[in-house]
Structure 1
């Protein structure tokens, strides 16, 4: 006989978005169980999501008081951001020091550190973690969701939040497809350990057509304890060559102090998906998709984690309303409204990230001319420098019809 486990609400996936969903459930007074396919203490390589916006920190603080401030305090906040064009500054902005007792404009720390603080907050809140539990199938009815797992146990709950990433078993189990293109551009992302004894100045710097890199774009972003370096490869470049040990050392010495070429801790080559789920909920309105289970964006503007957090919180608010609904129609409507809001926001974010990608690609003669003209006129029209600075990140404002920024 199949073993059955019944829970009030289940989150699938113990990444940062899944843990925020669990914290939001606890904030709403519900019990929360997280099922994670990997083992406890799993190795999580690379810095991955490193940038948390102020709006996201505030949302996290709402569902887990103290956690937003803890993330801010344990990350870094760079005081300067700089944008150059062919080696010349076109925009430099200096930020004032954060006001004590207030959520800062952002914080930057590796995702493994973000997860560490979230995990402890979950334990403190009484979230149940079930590790090494791979979901293999999802069955929904009008009353509940049944999650079949590789271990043979069925997990049953009235509502399930699918936060299990780009290969989401929950999304596939309820038959929801991803829609959208994949970018052709190839990028190399490199993590570098900071030299604590003699660190570089804390500056986020974007180089349009770095003069030492034969016109390739380069982004340098500091995070707690290290640096993220993104290199945009050109058509015809061999990613394996640029990502090899010798290749890395050769080009890193051209864009940073040469000592950092010996301090590489992680390297990854990737192309970006620009996809959004066709729906964020199933036909029974018992499952909600959040984070990368629901969408994959180019990372410009840091729209991945920063959209996953409001996905999780808005979805849980929908579940909370559904649980209190007086009838089936109102129950379904509560879930639908939450799912529709985040679907609308995700489509907006996909378009915004696509605009940013178009801005920096370098394969549009029209855009290349606009950038070159803007760079040449910046000394006379400073706002053009700001346009160049903001271009790689897409529009800052969120969709006007959603309740959260991202």
Structure 2
């Protein structure tokens, strides 16, 4: 006999899963969050650090005070700067280093994902959300009437719906028979975090270098977050990543692009190739499972489309579930889930197209794009808008994906 019953099981206690839990609590829908890792598990790297204004607003509406808490604990850099082969081609100074109007959420905030998760979890505790740690999911039995979730120890949970927020290797996605579709890029990127020197910090600037002259023409990006910096280095074809990620390797190249003291302040270093993938559907054939966040899509990180699309994924899934729970026919129930899943599927493909455009702009293996960048950089003093094109290129379009509805 199944003893553990609720309306919705959220699998995964990352930022997207915790957001889903808060929204379910707000709507009075019974739920539980199941997380495979133990409480306080180590989480390498800064990962998602940039929260858009739209996401802050979503979180504020979901749990009043949360958006402002994240904004208050993050930073706002006042300057965006872009250079091409060492020549400055774009700079914009917003003149803002904090949220000057306490009644309005800022355009963005930047803080370590561990901090984002901490504030989300504190909100969950205050709201009375139930989170069960160290409980890996092994199996989903999906029927027309609901979902039975079995963990690795054989414990069974039952719900009408499951929201899979369990990341890139999602067990929920696999058990629901859903698959990722899309390419994996061949370019290798290195990413590292460095701890800021609080007594003598660098100026707060988000800076992108096309073909930095001190790195033999590799692209370099610097992004500040509260207490540190993320540095992205695009490796060239033929580079051995180990030559750049080892302690000796980092000490060779990092002092060429930052104050040498930061080579002693590295807290994390990794390499990756971008997946540009979207699940073939955001719901299963029975319309009992929905996907959100990296369980549903993986994008190149430039443009911060991961967490910032994962939050509306979760909120839209819950809006669909709420309608489905109130439906009076199986057709209406399935339609509510289908519409919610399809809206976020459309948004995910839009985001993938945008990040693919950004990658094409970044990659150095296109003679056409190389010529466009070179020409734009040479003409920027005559046609200033070309500098803006160079500045925006690595991040993709700044407007959001299409929405079929406006409220969650």
TM-score range, shorter chain: over 0.9
Q: Determine which of 142, 145, 158 is the counterpart of 1:143.
A: 145
Total equivalences in the alignment: 404
Contact 1:25–1:316 (CA<8 Å) still a contact in 2? yes
Alpha-carbon spacing, 1:402–1:383, altered in 2? closer, same or farther (3 Å): farther
Q: Secondary structure at the match of 1:363?
A: coil
Residues of 2 paired with 1:321 and 1:94: CA distance?
Answer: 45
Contact 2:347–2:402 (CA<8 Å) still a contact in 1? no
Residues of 2 paired with 1:327 and 1:61: CA distance?
Answer: 33
Q: Which residue of 2 aligns with 1:247?
A: 249
Contact 1:378–1:385 (CA<8 Å) still a contact in 2? yes
Q: Secondary structure at the match of 1:7?
A: strand
In the TM superposition, residue 4 of structure 1 has moved relative to its aligned partner by: 4.0
Output aligned runs, 1:19-168, within 5 Å: 19-97=18-96, 98-100=99-101, 101-168=103-170
Q: Secondary structure at the match of 2:243?
A: helix
Residues of 1 paired with 2:275 and 2:132: CA distance?
Answer: 30
Contact 2:293–2:309 (CA<8 Å) still a contact in 1? yes
Q: Which residue of 1 aligns with 2:345?
A: 343
Q: Which residue of 1 aligns with 2:180?
A: 178
In the TM superposition, residue 96 of structure 1 has moved relative to its aligned partner by: 3.7
Contact 1:207–1:218 (CA<8 Å) still a contact in 2? yes
Q: Which residue of 1 aligns with 2:237?
A: 235
Contact 1:300–1:356 (CA<8 Å) still a contact in 2? yes
Q: Which residue of 2 aligns with 1:331?
A: 333
Residues of 2 paired with 1:145 and 1:285: CA distance?
Answer: 10
Cα deviation code 1:186-241 (max 9, x no counterpart): 00000000001000000000000001011100000000000000000000001011
Residues of 2 paired with 1:400 and 1:22: CA distance?
Answer: 25
Residues of 2 paired with 1:255 and 1:403: CA distance?
Answer: 45
Residues of 2 paired with 1:104 and 1:118: CA distance?
Answer: 18
Cα deviation code 1:98-125 (max 9, x no counterpart): 3312110100000000000000001111
In the TM superposition, residue 401 of structure 1 has moved relative to its aligned partner by: 4.1
Alpha-carbon spacing, 1:271–1:88, altered in 2? closer, same or farther (3 Å): same
Q: Secondary structure at the match of 1:158?
A: strand
Alpha-carbon spacing, 1:402–1:384, altered in 2? closer, same or farther (3 Å): farther
Cα deviation code 1:335-370 (max 9, x no counterpart): 100000000000010111000001001110000000
Q: Which residue of 1 aligns with 2:402?
A: 400
In the TM superposition, residue 284 of structure 1 has moved relative to its aligned partner by: 1.1
Residues of 1 paired with 2:194 and 2:95: CA distance?
Answer: 26
Q: Which residue of 2 aligns with 1:263?
A: 265
In the TM superposition, residue 328 of structure 1 has moved relative to its aligned partner by: 1.1
Q: Determine which of 185, 189, 197 is the counterpart of 2:199.
A: 197
Q: Which residue of 2 aligns with 1:222?
A: 224
Cα deviation code 1:10-45 (max 9, x no counterpart): 100000000001111112121221000011111111
Q: Secondary structure at the match of 2:271?
A: strand
Output aligned runs, 1:344-363, within 5 Å: 344-363=346-365
Cα deviation code 1:264-293 (max 9, x no counterpart): 000011001000000000111111000000
Residues of 1 paired with 2:406 and 2:292: CA distance?
Answer: 14
Q: Secondary structure at the match of 1:49?
A: coil
Q: Which residue of 2 aligns with 1:377?
A: 379
Residues of 1 paired with 2:334 and 2:405: CA distance?
Answer: 20
Contact 1:322–1:334 (CA<8 Å) still a contact in 2? yes
Residues of 1 paired with 2:120 and 2:377: CA distance?
Answer: 42
Contact 1:82–1:92 (CA<8 Å) still a contact in 2? yes
Q: Which residue of 2 aligns with 1:10?
A: 9
Cα deviation code 1:137-156 (max 9, x no counterpart): 11111111111110111110
Residues of 1 paired with 2:302 and 2:46: CA distance?
Answer: 16
Q: Secondary structure at the match of 1:298?
A: coil
Residues of 1 paired with 2:406 and 2:274: CA distance?
Answer: 24
